[in-house]
Structures are given as C-alpha cells and as structure tokens.
Amino acid sequence: MSRQRADAVVGAAETIRESVARLNRIAKLALADQVRAEERWGHWAVMGSPRQDEESIVRELARAAIQAGKPPVRPPRRTFGGVGSDASCAVCGEPIRPNQMEIEMVYVEERLAKHTSLSAVLERLRAQSEAEVQRYQLHARCFAAWEFERIKMDWPRQTHPPPDRPF
C-alpha cells in the first residue's frame, strides 16, 4: 500500500471517529432534553400517540392489575373524569399529572349497591365508613387498556363476545 493511500485511510478513520463522537454528544443532549421534558410534562405527553409496543405494554400492565384485583374486573359503580391530581395510577403506578386526564372509578360494596336511588345511597354512605367505598384513579390511556382487558376477561359471562373475538 502506498504512503498516500495509507494517509487517506488514516484520515478517513479519524473523520469517522470524530463523526461518531459528535453523534454521541448529540444523542446525549437529545436524551437529556427528553428526560427534562418527561419530568415536566409526563411520559405520555412527550411521547405523543402510542406506538404498538407501548400499547402492548400498557395492556400487559392492565392485565396484571386486573389479576391483582386492583381495580376489580367488575364494572365500577360510578366513573368520573377530570384533571390529574398527582394520584398514583392503579394500572401503571405512575402519577397522574395535572396536565393529564384522570379517570376515577368508584366501587361500592354490594350491600350499598342494592339501593337504587341516589338519596338512599348517599344516606348509606354517610352512615358507613370509607372502607366500603373503593376509589381507583387511572390515566385515560390506562383506563382504556383496563376496560379492553376487563371485557376480554369477563366476556364468557356476558351475552356478547368482545369486539376482537368472534362468538
């Protein structure tokens, strides 16, 4: 190999090393920016719409939460939506930030649920302890995954099959 070619190869290798070092610095800066943004606005707000693998992870978390019984597989007595309250999500465990939608599900013990009128339920609730009322807060996305998985697990007891399975 000629001296001129050897110098060219060494020069090309040095250029590649410099390019790799520059790309590594850029990647570190981008990662630091993403971490700061996630701390400020939350993971789902930064990541935008879910990718398929992220959705499968959320659905797996929902299945695990259902199997642990928190929240139960039965439909809630009441469901409310609103601004996040920094409560921990019952599915993923992450806090529900104020810039995120929070879904709160309320479960009432069966002896309270027998009353059909709102005034009767409120009267019983005033007389009973808070232990008989269970509340679960979820991200809107985690709620959707939980609802989908709940219907899939509960569908043999229903008259209609879940949307993704033929009867």
139 and 106 within one domain: yes
One domain, residues 88 and 28: no
Q: HSE on the CB side for 98, CA within 13 Å?
A: 1
152 lies in the same domain as 76:
yes
| Residue carrying structure tokens 């943004």 | 37
Q: Mean pLDDT score of the chain, rounded to an integer? A: 77
- What's the pLDDT at 33? 74
**DSSP codes, 86-107:** SPBPTTT--B--TTSEEEEEEE
For residues 143 and 61, membership in a common domain is answered with yes
Residue 107 in domain: yes
- pLDDT tens, residue by residue, 124-136: 666 665 557 889 9
Query: Which range marks the domain in which residue 9 is found?
Result: 1-41
How far apart (Å, rounded) are the C-alpha atoms in residues 127 and 104? 22
Do 77 and 126 lie in one domain? The reply is yes
Environment class of 58 (CB within 10 Å of its CB; exposed 0-12, middle 13-18, buried 19+):
buried
Answer yes or no: is 165 within a domain: no
Q: What is the pLDDT of residue 165?
A: 47
Rounded Cα gap, residues 5 and 47, in angstroms? 47
Preceding amide of 71 cis, omega within 30:
yes
Tally the domains of the chain: 2
Looking at the fold, whether 89 and 153 belong to one and the same domain comes out as: yes
Question: In this structure, are residues 66 and 152 in contact, taking their beta carbons and an 8 Å threshold?
Answer: no
Is 69 found in the same domain as 23? no
Spans in the chain with pLDDT lower than 50? 49-50, 112, 159, 165-167
Let me know whether 61 and 131 are in one domain. yes
Question: For residue 98, what is the domain's CATH number?
Answer: 3.30.1740
